[in-house]
A and B are shown apart, each in its own frame.
Chain A
């Protein structure tokens, strides 16, 4: 078995690393404090071809694949997780359109999304539940050649800056996926939640009040909305969250390791103390394990396996990587003592960001439900 990344993937990693170090790192703290959406960085990412890695070249993507996406998200998140998370949520609708949408949708929306000139969001969760998607209340009623939609979605990442939003609503006793553009009458962003982490990526509530959408705005067939949503969330959302977690874990590890080698106490660097070495060793092992779970899953997706085939792999890598990220972040804060609590040293910010990952793209417990139910079938 050859565990080496291809030369192209290596070059991609080098490029994203340099992009992250030179263009994201210097602004990370400032952007986090301001809590503003990072439009400039998104455009740069689009220019470099980083956003549309799973979209076809015909529509402005680069089709480099899932492993490429994993590497991109990891390297960006190592330095600035909100942007890495944007590559997760911002890719959801792009995937849904690519996989379930028609040619018109693709031509209309994908090119500008790939370029980073426009951004998107994808909404499933409501007050009635995210894990319990089938209990949603948002309803779309057919009225001649258009639908009338009523309902509210909450805890959706990135709706405020989004130019176009995908969402799922009840159509009769089934569910359907729709596209709504910003500015559509009856579509209104009603709230921004205050979040402890990923601060520059808004988390919003929006309302659809007698919102009229033409039939063309259906993604795929009526009644196939949940398949669309769940496939999208599994293939893009969970893998993306795993990538962010991987990046955060590595970021914390590298910062803590460097600190431990330089911080002198009792006449030597604290890296010479076993307690510190044990903590770093634990981080090292877990990150490596998480990495292979994530990479092998992404690689298998690139081989053409579906998210159904890979349901366990996908759930597993998200479950484990996110736990590892939280543990590593906490250990890093611990290793760095008082410096670990100072935002300037980044690890406390990375810990806050890691906390947001548990509930992303399905909670950790839902991952276990997926795994447990599948293996016991």
Chain B
């Protein structure tokens, strides 16, 4: 069992730009590296991405293992997994953090399986704690119902791998005076890597409007919005507050929001300054999506709805009465604030 190895953050870049989540993981990585007294490093695969590698250093990576090759320009399932597993086996980090992006969600389990090691998904926090009088890295994962969380550990196998969704952890602070080593590793890319599976094309469609993850105010409609028949009031409230409209799974099932505005376990995680849940019951698989918000306002007609346990301010009432009233009250005083 290896407890002296480095802490690694798997950096993800697309078209040379680092994904936000990589920078978020570096902040947690720095905390852990300080606490445990080991080096924080990062790994990056791609082609002509040295600028991104430097960004990783500016955000706290003491070392960056850079694997560049023209054939690695885009995510390639077999090549990336094999090379990552290889570099991990060679350098034996003890902890590997990876962002649960669409790509990370596929790459992480492949690498973990190659290494026959543990991988925890949906992690919302990491810290060194104690289990049975021994120090362990605690992977905090949302539990079922209300305010419960589970503590997951990976006591034996190494590295222990943890996947974290974008938007959960705070971003590391950028400091262009930080120094770190960018170690170029010549990746052993083989033709065989592309024989059975090959990324043929990447089509990126820039998002319309403000992104959910960067909004200061998120107004989220859930099952309870059924009573209102449509979603227009949710958008109206979002507009007044200068925020973004979103929905939980029932709202998406009704066609009121699409995947890009979906909040919850299978959707996005947001941590805005103000989160307003309208008819969002508070069942576990939705609450993980907004647990990190600074202030939560909940409106629901059921006084027993679990969401009231997870809210700062709660209004029990019929949305058809509360929403117009709320909108009217806020209209009176239309000064959007920055958080």
Contact = CB atoms under 8 A, between A and B. Distances in A.
Interface in B257-305: 301-303
Shortest 4 CB-CB distances between A and B: which pairs?
A262-B301, A262-B302, A264-B303, A264-B301
Interface in B297-332: 301-303, 316
Interface in A258-288: 262, 264
A262 B303 CA distance: 9
A264 B301 CA distance: 8
Nearest to A267: B303
5 contacts: A262-B301, A262-B302, A264-B301, A264-B303, A264-B316
Nearest to B316: A264
Contacts of A262: 301-302
Nearest to B254: A26
Contacts of B301: 262, 264
Interface string A301-312: 000000000000
Interface of B: 301-303, 316
Contacts of A264: 301, 303, 316
B68 to A, nearest CB: 51
A262 B302 CA distance: 6
A33 to B, nearest CB: 16
Contacts of B302: 262
Contacts of B316: 264
B258 to A, nearest CB: 19
Nearest to A263: B301
Interface in A240-264: 262, 264
Contacts of B303: 264
A267 B94 CA distance: 56
Nearest to B304: A269
Nearest to B227: A262
A26 to B, nearest CB: 10
A267 to B, nearest CB: 9
Nearest to B229: A344
Nearest to A261: B302
Nearest to B224: A262
A264 B322 CA distance: 14
A96 to B, nearest CB: 43
A264 B303 CA distance: 9
A287 to B, nearest CB: 25
A48 to B, nearest CB: 22
Interface string A22-47: 00000000000000000000000000
B303 to A, nearest CB: 7
A264 B317 CA distance: 9
A373 to B, nearest CB: 51
A177 B301 CA distance: 58
A304 B258 CA distance: 53
A201 to B, nearest CB: 27
A185 to B, nearest CB: 49
B250 to A, nearest CB: 14
A262 B226 CA distance: 14
A14 B294 CA distance: 43
A262 B316 CA distance: 11
A148 to B, nearest CB: 57
Nearest to B302: A262
A264 B302 CA distance: 8
Interface string A151-164: 00000000000000
A348 B147 CA distance: 41
Nearest to B301: A262
Interface string A182-210: 00000000000000000000000000000
A271 to B, nearest CB: 12
A244 B303 CA distance: 36
A225 B303 CA distance: 62
A343 B295 CA distance: 39
A30 to B, nearest CB: 13
Nearest to B303: A264
A264 B300 CA distance: 12
Interface in A49-63: none
B80 to A, nearest CB: 40
Nearest to A268: B303
A291 B302 CA distance: 32
A284 to B, nearest CB: 22
A318 to B, nearest CB: 36
A303 to B, nearest CB: 43
Interface in A94-112: none
B338 to A, nearest CB: 37
A262 B224 CA distance: 11
B157 to A, nearest CB: 42
A231 B301 CA distance: 52
A94 B316 CA distance: 54
A262 B301 CA distance: 7
Nearest to A344: B229
A18 B316 CA distance: 32
A2 to B, nearest CB: 36
A158 B16 CA distance: 67
A262 B279 CA distance: 13
Nearest to A26: B254
A241 B308 CA distance: 46
A262 B304 CA distance: 10
B253 to A, nearest CB: 11
